[in-house]
Structure 1
Amino acid sequence: MAEKGYGGLVGDGLWSNNQALVALLGLCPLLAVTTTATNGLGMGLATTTVLVLSNATISLIRNLVRPEVRLPVFVLVIASFVTAVELTMQAQFYELYLVLGLFIPLIVTNCAIIGRAEAFASKAPLDRAIVDGLAMGLGFTLVLMVLGGLREFLGQGTLFYQADLLLGAGAQGIGLDLGEDFQGALLAILPPGAFIGLGLMIAIKNLIDKRIERLRRKRPVSAERVAPEAAAGEVAPSNG
């Protein structure tokens, strides 16, 4: 079976094999921190950073690690990068770090990261491992941000509230606020709202995939109809 190109890896990470919508991995931070789009984006970027760095490192050392100890070594590599990301967030984004709290160090146990290390990075060259980590991380980040934005907007009538915690003081005016009189749906920002929102996103993705599959099945039929007409057109002049 031929290896997928970079485009295929990106497509898998962002859509076809999105770890949050298809594999349903990393649900703990996905459901817990997505009360706002800013929280989701911050958590997603932290996870993406760890994914890219751990994939790259594991790809580089894949031929040096014995199969018997590969999982402990992978966890050690991931934990090292998570610690670095956690310390960076404490230094540069302290208020956001306080909001995300325990879920930053829990990236170590994120099954999506360990799964990509075992299933892909340990068998792939450096360039493909980096592209895979970046694509999977961005796909996970998009789900976190969209789910967080949906819950935030329906629950409290804002979008990218406190974006300055992540993007700096210049981002204070980019958010959307419907005002204090907005009567939001409390369910959206409660834990059940996270499950409902994720379920809706999965359902929408499945509907889109089915629609695309139906369109693909119709294409060969159209091609078969065109082929006889083209052949008849080629024969007709010779008979004249």
Structure 2
Amino acid sequence: MNKQLQIFTNGFIKENPLLVLNIGLCSSLGVTTSIFNGIGMGIGMTFVLVMSEIVISLFRKFIPSAIRLPVFIIIIAAFTTIVQLVLQAYVESLYDALGVFLPLIVVNCIIMGRVEAFASKNNIGNSILDALGMGIGYTIVLVLISLIRELLGGGTLLAGTALKIEVIPEAYRIGLFNSAPGGFLVFGILAAVVQAGKRAAAQKKASKNNERQED
């Protein structure tokens, strides 16, 4: 049970694909100008990741090693296409907002990395836990970056939806956060906070170990 819990929670902090592993950054920072976009991209990525890991884990013993990467890409592309078609049919505003970053899910390093490093080597149960943990961790970070950028750059919350709220008057908004440098700035600050927290936890653990040895 502890192993399954560890697999599921790895993507939250310890192996968070954005803040720790630093993969999939381009598309992530490109869509995080609003919370609506961040949630939509996070859900879409999580769906593709979960379904891809399920299929690849299920058929891992039947996929020849020599052609495994092309097979992985075909599987990922199939589920990405499903996400595209569903959004285009039912949430056209989100489909338009995500733009080119939506089809680029096919080559996103997060998905390719997890199916290659985990799903192709583990059973279906653990693969589902891994995909869900990574997807949730990814989505949480996207929403957090989106929240900061939309609030400070656009002065709103939930722009693009019927629940849109204007929080900061236009005169006091910081346009930098709507641009690419603003996205990297927010990401850098969050990554630094996570690394500082991990370092503090490691130092605390080392200190406790030293105290036990002295006793």
Shorter chain as normaliser: what TM range?
over 0.9
**Which of 115, 123, 126 matches 1:125?**
123
The runs of at least 4 aligned residues of structure 1 exceeding 3 Å deviation read 179-182, 221-225
Residue 200 of structure 1 is matched in structure 2 by 189
1:178 to 156, 161, 167: 167
CA RMSD across the alignment: 1.6
**Secondary structure of 1:22 counterpart:** coil
Shift of 1:101: 1.3
Contact 2:152 2:174 in 1 (8 A): yes
The structure number with the bigger radius of gyration is 1
Q: Distance in 2 between matches of 1:124 and 1:149?
A: 35
Q: Give the superposition deviation at 1:182.
A: 4.8
* 1:46-69 deviation digits (Å, cap 9, x = unpaired): 000000000000000100000000
CA distance in 1: counterparts of 2:49 and 2:41, whole angstroms: 12
The aligned runs of 1:73-152 (5 Å cut-off) are: 73-152=71-150
Alignment pair present for 1:215 and 2:213: no
Query: Which residue pairs with 1:57 in the alignment?
Result: 55
Q: How many residues align?
A: 215
CA distance, structure 1, for counterparts of residue 21 and residue 169 of structure 2: 39
Question: Are 1:82 and 1:105, in contact at CA under 8 Å, matched by a contact in 2?
Answer: yes
Query: Which ranges in structure 1 are unaligned for 5 or more consecutive residues?
Result: 165-171, 228-240
What does residue 19 of structure 1 align with? 17
User: TM-score of the superposition, structure 1-length normalised?
Assistant: 0.85
The alignment-based identity, stated in percent, is 37
1:157–1:182 contact (8 Å) kept in structure 2: no
Distance in 1 between residues matched to 2:179 and 2:106, nearest whole Å: 25
Matches within 5 A, 1:146-165: 146-162=144-160, 164=161
Amino acid at match of 2:35: A
Aligned residues of 2:155 and 2:170 also touching (Cα < 8 A): no
Cα offsets for 1:149-189 (capped at 9, x unmatched): 11111112212223x3xxxxxxx34x542254451111111
Where do 5+ consecutive residues of structure 2 fail to align? none
Contact 1:13–1:139 at 8 Å: present in 2 too? Answer: yes
CA–CA distance in 2 between the matches of 1:153 and 1:9?
A: 33
What is the distance in 2 between the residues matched to 1:184 and 1:106?
Answer: 31
The letter of the residue matching 1:53 is M
The amino acid across from 1:184 in the alignment is R
Could you state the TM-score of these two structures normalised by the residue count of structure 2? 0.94
